[in-house]
Amino acid sequence: MLARRFVLAALTRLPEGRLTVLEGGTTVAFGPGGAPSAAVTVHDERFWTTALRGGTVGLGQAYADGWFDADDVADLCRLLVSGFEPVRRRLDRLADALAPARELVPSRSRGREADRGHVAAHYDLSNDFFSLMLDPTMAYSCALFDGTATSLEAAQRAKFDRLCDLLDLTERDHLLEIGTGWGGFAVHAASTRGCRVTTTTVSANQHEHARKRVAELDLEDRVEVVDADYRDLTGTYDKVVSIEMIEAVDWRDHARYFSTLAERLRPGGRAALQAIVIDDRSYERAKRNTDFIKAAIFPGGCLPSISSIVRSARDAGLSTLAVHRIGHHYPETLLHWQRNLELNRSEVLRLGFDERFLRTWHFYLQYCIGGFEARYIDGVHVVLEKG
């Protein structure tokens, strides 16, 4: 089979680690040895064509369909990141070279309705499903395992406290949160720092959950949950926070996103972003390409880079005060989510999700772990100020 021969030939160039391929009683090993190490068992020969033609999209589809298994998907992804880095770097340089010409072609924002649809496709899957995967804070973002956190919930609260500290939140502040999630940070900030919070989301399920949570905690005098696109917000706030929401903002809308932060902040006001970022060198290529995450998990997603954040913030009149890397905490966060899904497997199936869905999400969480461990992607806290 031509696709098999092509893929196996490419694997002979692995610069590190060990990849073992098992198919039909035959075992072949690639790489010099050591870590990372993964073993792949091929169950269906369609795996080879799908993986070759579809890249990470095809790889994820083949895994979801059960055409192959891996003893460690995260290490498999790390091996592929390192093994194909020379090719990726050439494509990165080509994308950078073409960028000036592409900027001459007008590009349109995809619009509010499209954004709502993309958000609904992921976040409105089921509040019950996410409650089985996440901890009681319902935080769906990187936690901080700072040495004192003994559980995922404690690590998420440590993250909330870090953001509050970066913002220097006090009871005198009125905080705007762009991207409510399920309301965890809003109620934490209001209850621990005494500030007022206005938080906005375009997810129907998250909006409903967050409003109930605010009412249950008797915080309605301090927390307002609104159903509004960030571009339609009005008013002026002392502080702004946005936790892993920018990844849902198309790169064509970054200028509008950061100008919204600037317009909503009072002079001297501070904003804190938590973001998943891609390697600066890969930003131009990745923002236009569809990978597994965009195809199967987050339609319309776009990872910014640190440079693109700083540049867009500066263009909007915001100064970057600090950038703190937190991506080394993400693999542990993701492992907690994966374990929760495994422990609650029967409950997930009872909600109406099937085995293919569970395999897709297993691949998604492991794929992300591999990306963070390979440092192809990272997590950051960025502190901005309206000067």
Q: 């870090």: which residue's tokens?
A: 162
368 classed as catalytic: yes
Q: 């907690």: which residue's tokens?
A: 336
What's the sign of the alpha-carbon dihedral 381, 330, 148, 216? positive
Estimate to the nearest angstrom the gap between the alpha carbon of 344 and the chain centroid. 22
Of the candidates 62, 7, 50, the one whose C-alpha atom is nearest the C-alpha of residue 30 is 7
Of the candidates 183, 92, 107, the one whose C-alpha atom is nearest the C-alpha of residue 140 is 183
**DSSP H/E element including 372:** helix 355-373
Estimate to the nearest angstrom the gap between the alpha carbon of 58 and the chain centroid. 20
SS3 165: helix
First-to-last alpha carbon distance for the chain, in angstroms, is 62
Amino acid at 383: V
Beta-sheet strand order (sheet of 68-70): 26-33, 17-23, 37-42, 68-70
Backbone angles phi, psi at 279, to 5 degrees: -50, 130
**Cross-strand bridge partners of residue 40:** 21, 70
For 120-147, letters b (16+ CB in 10 Å) and e give beebbeebebbbbbbbebbbbbbbbbee
Of the candidates 61, 57, 182, the one whose C-alpha atom is nearest the C-alpha of residue 123 is 182
Which class for 187: exposed (0-12), middle (13-18), buried (19 or more C-beta within 10 A)? buried
Beta-sheet strand order (sheet of 196-201): 223-227, 196-201, 174-178, 237-243, 265-278, 377-386, 318-325
Token pair for 285: 């290529």
Distance, in Å, from the CA atom of 41 to the CA atom of 256, rounded to the nearest integer, reads 46
- Residues annotated as catalytic (active site), given as ranges: 368
